[in-house]
C-alpha cells in the first residue's frame, strides 16, 4: 500500500524537474539520478487497470495478535496494515526505481543542490473526516516524528534538517543542514506521514504510546471494525479526496480489506482452506508442495499460481546479537554459519524451491560479485590503509554462504568449524561442550515464535551441538518475541530477521547498519558497529551518480557480508500465492510489487459463483 512503512526509514528518491528560475527547479515529482518516467500530464500508472471496478473484499491473515493501532511506537503490537490511514507529500511507484511523485503536493521546488525544498500542497486535500489538510498539519507531523518517532529515526533526521517553516496555508519549506549530503533529503521529508494536528491534540494522543485509537489520516481507507487481537477490517472511504488524481486511477479497488489473526501457521492454513480468508502468500514450502490438494483447489475454486517477481530478496537470516561477548570473535560467527546446511534443508524440508541468500542486496544489481572492481578497490583501500579492514578485502571474492553436502551434518564444514572454534579459544571439555578460559560454555539460544520453523532450527541446533556448542531452541509467543527483540533489552542470542536494504540506498542505512543507532534501532537487530561500514554508508549517501551509488554499494555489501553477523537463509525468485477465484490483476504485473491490496480488483460474478457453489459464505 502507499502507506509510509513502520519505522520511518527514509525513502531514497531524487531529481527530475523543469527550470522555474535559473536557481530553482519545480516539478511534479523527483528522481534520484535521472528523469522521471511519467510526465506531468500522465493519466494513470502503466501497470494498473484504470477501469478496474470498485467493490468486494479481500482478506489476508496475520500472525499472533495485536493490541494497538499505532504503527509508529515500540509499545504494543500494532495491527496489520495499521499504517494504511496515512499519506505523504510524495509517493513511490512500482515500476520505477528511485522515483517519487507528488501526492499531497501539487509541485515541489528546490535548487539544483537541494539545500532546501518547498512543497506546494493540493488545496483539495482533506483528512478522512472532511477537515482540510494544510501545511500546519505537515509541520506538526514533522515535529511530532522528530520529537517522538523511533529513536534511531530521530537521530538520523535531526542530523539532516535545519528547519521547517510554513510559508502559507498550502506551502511549507524544509531547509537542510550544511555538510550533510542532500541527494535524498527532499524525499526524506516528503515521505513522512501526515497526521491531523487537530485530532491528535483534541484526543490527547501520544505517538510513543500504543493505542487502539488510530491517528486521523487522509488515505483512501478508514477503520471499519476491530476485534482486538483477532480481526481488523479497513473500509474504502467513498469520499476520499484524491480518488480522481491520475496516480490513484485503477488503485484502492476493494471496498474492504480484512486481516484475520491466527496463533500459528498451521491454523492459518486451515483457516484459508475453510474460506475464513481469501488470499494467501504461501511462505511454507511443504504446504506449497503438498498441502494444496484440498477440494477447492482441485475443482478450480482456489487458484494456486506462481507470479513473476523482480523484487530484491528480503535478506532473511539468522541474526546474531553482536552486543553479547560470545559473538565478538568473527571466527565464532563463521563457525556457527558453517553448521547450517542449506542444501540439505532445501532438498529435504523445502522441496527444492528456494535459492540461498548471499548478499544484503540479493537478486538485484547492487549485490557484490567476485573480486572487487577497480572502483571498489579505490574505495576500500583507504580503509585498509587505516587498519579498518583487512588487506584481504581487496583481493578476496565476496563472502558467500558455505555450501554443504546432502546429509544433515556436513563433516567437511564440521572440521572447518572446529578449527575456527579452537583458534578462538573455545576448547572442548570432557563433556563434549566448548568452554572459554573462564570455564563458560559457548551457549547459543535460538528464539523461535513459529511452530513451522521448528523443523528448520532443530537440525541446525543438532549440528551445532556436534561442534561442541551448547545450542538450544526456545519457543516463545510472538508478544514475548517482540519484547525481547526490541530496544533497549535486545534480550536474545540468535533470532530470525531481515538484513534490510533498498534498491536506491540512502540515509536509512544509518538505521539498518550504522554504529550511532546500533543500540536504539529496531532494524539493526544484530547491533553492528563497524567504523568501515559507517564510512561506506556515508559514501553511498553522498553518491551523485547512479554509477557512484552502484560501486559504493557493492563495496558496502562486500564489507557487511565480511562481518558475518548473519547466517543467511533463502528466498524465492517468484511469488507463490493462492486465492479464491474472484480476484483479477493486471498482466503483466509491475516488477517491484505484487499489489494484491493496491491494484488488484474484485470480480463480483465470480464471487457469486463461489457462493452459489457453497465455497464461500
In this prediction, residue 213 carries a pLDDT of 97
Q: How many domains does the chain have?
A: 2
CB 104 within 8 A of CB 87: yes
Q: Is 244 part of any domain?
A: no
Distance CA 362, CA 314 (A): 8
d(CA 219, CA 82): 12
pLDDT in tens, 201-243: 999 999 999 999 999 999 999 999 999 999 999 999 999 999 9
pLDDT of residue 22: 53
Q: What is the predicted pLDDT for the residue at 155? A: 87
* Residue 18 in domain: no
Q: Where are the beta strands (DSSP E) in 228-263?
A: 231-236, 256-262
Indicate if the pLDDT at residue 6 is higher than 50.
Answer: no
88/30 Cα distance (integer angstroms): 14
Q: What is the DSSP letter of 106?
A: E
Q: Is 426 helix (H, G, I), strand (E, B) or coil?
A: coil
Host domain of residue 284: 264-310+573-617
Predicted confidence band of residue 432 (pLDDT cuts 50, 70, 90): very high
In whole angstroms, give the CA distance from residue 524 to residue 530: 12
Shared domain for 352 and 306, answered yes or no, is no
Asked whether the CA dihedral 26, 27, 29, 33 is positive or negative, the reply is negative
CB neighbour list of residue 238: distance below 8 Å, 6 or more residues apart: none
Q: Are residues 376 and 398 in the same domain?
A: yes
* Per-residue model confidence as pLDDT tens digits over 456-504: 999 999 999 999 999 999 999 988 999 999 999 999 999 999 999 999 9
Q: What percent of the chain has pLDDT over 90?
A: 92
Pairing of strands 90-92, 99-102: antiparallel
3-state secondary structure of 6: coil
* Maximum alpha-carbon separation in the chain: 79
355 and 443 part of one domain = yes
Indicate the SS3 state at residue 605.
helix
Same domain, 469 and 609: no
Query: Which of 4-8, 15-19, 50-54, 59-63 is least confident?
Result: 4-8
DSSP 373-414: PHHHHHHHHHHHHTTSS-GGGGTSPPP-PPP--SSSS-HHHH
Q: Are residues 587 and 602 in the same domain?
A: yes
- For 238, other C-beta atoms within 10 Å of its C-beta total 9
User: What per-residue confidence (pLDDT) applies to 306?
Assistant: 96
Q: How far apart are CA 196 and CA 557, in angstroms?
A: 40
173 inside domain: no
Mean pLDDT of 373-401: 98
Secondary element (H or E) of residue 471: strand 470-475
Structural domain contains residue 26:
no
3-state secondary structure of 107: strand
**Based on the domain organization, do 441 and 562 belong to the same domain?**
yes
Q: What is the number of other CB atoms lying within 10 angstroms of the CB of residue 77?
A: 19
Look over the chain and give the mean of its residue pLDDT values, rounded to a whole number. Answer: 94
Cell of 464: 551445532
Residue 27 lies in a domain: no
Nearest to 364 by CA among 401, 313, 306: 313
Residue that is last in its domain, among 533, 550, 571: 571
CATH number of 427's domain: 3.10.105.10
Distance CA 105, CA 313 (A): 32
The C-alpha cell that represents 175 in the structure block: 531547509
Question: CA 101 to CA 242: how far, in whole Å?
Answer: 14
pLDDT in the model for residue 573: 86
**Distance separating alpha carbons of residues 275 and 106, to the nearest angstrom:** 43
Residues in the chain: 617
Kindly give, in sequence order, each residue whose CB lies less than 8 Å from that of residue 484, ignoring residues fewer than 6 positions away.
447, 476, 490, 491, 492
Please give the average per-residue pLDDT across 425-432, as a whole number: 96
Answer for the pair 85, 222: CB distance below 8 angstroms, yes or no. Answer: yes
Q: Are 207 and 145 in contact (CB under 8 A)?
A: yes
Residue 582 and residue 534 in one domain: no
E strand or H helix that includes residue 221: strand 221-227
In a domain, 44, yes or no: no
Query: In this structure, are strands 443-448 and 470-475 parallel, antiparallel, or unpaired?
Result: parallel
Residue 365 has pLDDT above 50, yes or no: yes
Report pLDDT for 346. 96
Query: Is 4 among the domain residues?
Result: no
Q: Give the per-residue pLDDT at 15.
A: 35
Question: Using CA atoms, how far apart are residues 500 and 314, in angstroms rounded to an integer?
Answer: 7
Interval 258-272: pLDDT, tens: 999 999 999 999 999
Examine the domain organization and report whether 474 and 580 are in the same domain.
no
All three cell numbers of 574: 517468484
Specify the pTM. Answer: 0.89
List the one residue out of 484, 474, 422 whose CA is nearest residue 446: 474
DSSP string computed for 136-167: HHHHHHHHHHHHHS-HHHHHHHHHHEEEEEEE
Mean pLDDT for 444-452 is 94
pLDDT band at 452 (very low <50, low <70, confident <90, very high): confident
Q: What CA–CA distance (Å, rounded) separates 595 from 585?
A: 8
pLDDT at position 1 is 37
Torsional sign, CA 282, 287, 292, 294: negative
CB atoms within 10 A of CB 536: 26
Q: Are residues 562 and 419 in the same domain?
A: yes
In whole angstroms, what is the distance from residue 579 CA to residue 577 CA?
Answer: 7
Predicted local confidence at residue 4, as pLDDT: 37
How does 318-341 read in b/e, with b if 16+ C-beta sit within 10 Å?
bbbbbbeebbebebbbbbbbbbbb
Based on the fold, state whether residues 449 and 513 are members of the same structural domain.
Answer: yes
Cα–Cα distance for residue pair 69/82, rounded to 1 Å? 6
φ, ψ of residue 277 in degrees (nearest 5)? -145, 170
Higher pLDDT, 34 or 530: 530
What percentage of the chain carries pLDDT values higher than 70? 96
Predicted local distance difference test score (pLDDT) of residue 20: 46
Contact 233, 256 (CB under 8 A): yes
**Same domain? 468 vs 585:** no
Q: Name beta bridge partners: 139.
A: none
Sort strands 256-262 and 57-63 into parallel, antiparallel or unpaired.
Answer: parallel
**Nearest-CA neighbor of 408 among 356, 455, 334, 460?**
460
Residue 102 falls within a domain, yes or no?
Answer: no
Statement to judge: residues 303 and 357 lie in one domain? no
Note the pLDDT tens digit of each residue in 320-334.
999 999 999 999 999
What is the per-residue pLDDT for 152?
Answer: 84
Q: pLDDT-based confidence at 5, cuts 50/70/90?
A: very low
Amino acid at each position: 500500500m502507499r502507506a509510509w512503512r513502520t519505522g520511518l526509514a527514509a525513502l531514497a528518491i531524487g531529481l527530475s524537474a523543469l527550470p522555474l528560475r535559473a536557481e530553482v527547479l519545480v516539478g511534479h515529482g523527483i528522481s534520484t539520478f535521472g528523469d522521471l518516467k511519467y510526465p506531468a500530464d500522465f493519466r494513470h500508472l502503466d501497470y494498473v487497470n484504470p477501469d478496474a471496478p470498485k467493490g468486494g473484499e479481500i482478506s489476508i491473515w496475520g500472525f499472533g495478535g495485536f493490541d494497538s493501532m499505532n504503527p509508529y511506537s515500540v509499545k504494543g503490537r500494532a495491527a496489520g496494515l495499521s499504517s494504511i490511514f496515512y499519506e505523504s507529500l510524495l509517493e513511490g511507484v512500482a515500476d520505477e526505481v528511485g522515483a517519487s511523485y507528488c501526492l499531497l503536493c501539487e509541485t515541489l521546488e528546490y535548487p539544483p543542490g537541494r539545500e532546501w525544498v518547498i512543497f506546494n500542497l493540493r488545496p483539495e486535500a482533506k483528512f478522512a473526516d472532511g477537515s482540510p489538510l494544510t501545511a500546519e498539519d505537515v509541520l506538526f507531523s514533522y515535529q511530532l516524528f522528530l520529537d517522538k518517532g523511533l529513536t534511531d529515526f530521530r537521530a538520523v533526521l535531526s542530523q539532516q534538517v535545519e528547519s521547517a517553516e510554513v510559508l502559507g496555508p498550502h506551502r511549507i519549506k524544509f531547509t537542510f543542514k550544511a555538510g550533510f549530503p542532500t541527494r535524498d533529503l527532499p524525499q526524506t521529508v516528503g515521505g513522512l506521514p501526515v497526521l491531523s494536528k487537530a485530532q491528535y491534540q483534541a484526543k490527547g494522543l501520544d505517538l510513543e504510546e500504543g493505542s487502539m485509537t488510530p491517528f486521523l489520516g487522509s488515505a483512501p481507507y478508514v477503520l471499519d471494525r476491530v476485534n482486538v487481537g483477532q480481526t481488523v477490517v479497513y473500509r474504502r472511504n467513498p469520499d476520499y479526496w484524491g480518488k480522481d488524481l491520475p496516480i490513484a486511477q485503477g488503485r484502492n479497488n476493494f471496498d474492504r480489506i480484512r486481516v484475520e489473526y491466527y496463533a500459528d501457521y498451521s491454523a492459518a492454513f486451515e483457516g484459508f482452506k475453510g474460506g475464513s480468508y481469501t488470499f494467501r502468500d504461501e511462505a511454507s514450502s511443504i504446504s506449497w508442495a503438498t498441502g494444496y490438494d484440498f477440494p477447492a483447489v482441485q475443482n478450480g475454486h482456489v487458484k494456486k499460481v506462481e507470479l513473476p517477481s523482480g523484487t530484491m530478496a528480503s535478506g532473511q537470516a539468522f541474526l546474531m546479537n553482536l552486543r553479547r561477548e560470545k559473538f565478538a570473535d568473527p571466527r565464532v560467527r563463521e563457525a556457527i554459519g558453517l553448521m547450517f546446511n542449506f542444501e540439505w534443508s532445501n532438498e529435504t524440508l523445502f522441496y527444492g524451491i528456494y535459492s540461498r541468500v548471499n548478499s544484503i542486496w540479493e537478486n538485484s544489481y547492487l549485490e557484490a560479485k567476485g573480486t572487487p572492481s577497480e572502483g571498489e578497490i579505490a574505495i576500500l583501500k583507504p580503509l585498509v590503509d587505516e587498519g579498518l579492514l583487512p588487506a584481504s578485502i581487496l583481493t578476496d571474492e565476496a563472502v558467500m554462504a558455505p555450501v554443504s553436502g546432502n546429509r544433515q551434518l556436513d563433516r567437511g564444514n564440521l572440521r572447518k568449524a572446529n578449527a575456527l572454534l579452537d583458534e578462538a579459544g573455545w576448547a572442548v571439555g570432557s563433556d563434549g561442550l566448548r568452554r572459554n578460559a573462564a570455564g563458560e560454555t559457548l551457549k547459543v539460544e535460538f528464539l523461535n515464535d513459529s511452530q513451522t520453523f521448528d523443523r528448520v532450527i532443530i537440525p541446525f541446533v543438532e549440528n551445532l551441538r556436534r561442534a561442541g556448542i551448547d545450542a538450544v531452541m526456545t519457543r516463545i509467543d510472538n508478544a514475548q518475541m517482540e519484547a525481547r527483540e526490541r530496544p533497549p533489552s535486545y534480550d536474545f542470542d540468535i533470532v530470525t530477521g531481515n538484513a534490510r536494504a533498498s534498491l536506491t540506498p540512502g540515509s536509512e542505512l544509518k538505521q539498518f547498519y550504522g554504529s550511532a543507532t546500533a543500540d536504539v534501532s529496531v532494524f539493526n537487530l544484530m547491533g553492528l558497529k563497524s567504523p568501515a561500514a559507517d564510512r561506506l554508508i556515508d559514501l553511498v549517501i553522498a553518491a551523485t551518480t547512479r554509477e557512484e551509488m552502484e560501486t559504493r554499494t557493492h563495496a558496502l555489501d562486500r564489507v557487511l557480508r565480511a562481518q558475518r553477523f548473519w547466517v543467511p537463509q533463502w528466498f524465492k525468485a517468484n511469488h507463490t500465492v493462492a486465492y479464491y477465484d474472484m480476484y483479477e490483476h493486471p498482466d503483466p504485473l509491475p516488477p517491484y510489487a505484487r499489489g494484491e491490496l493496491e491494484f488488484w480488483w474484485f470480480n463480483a460474478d465470480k464471487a457469486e459463483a463461489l457462493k452459489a457453489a457453497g465455497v464461500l459464505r
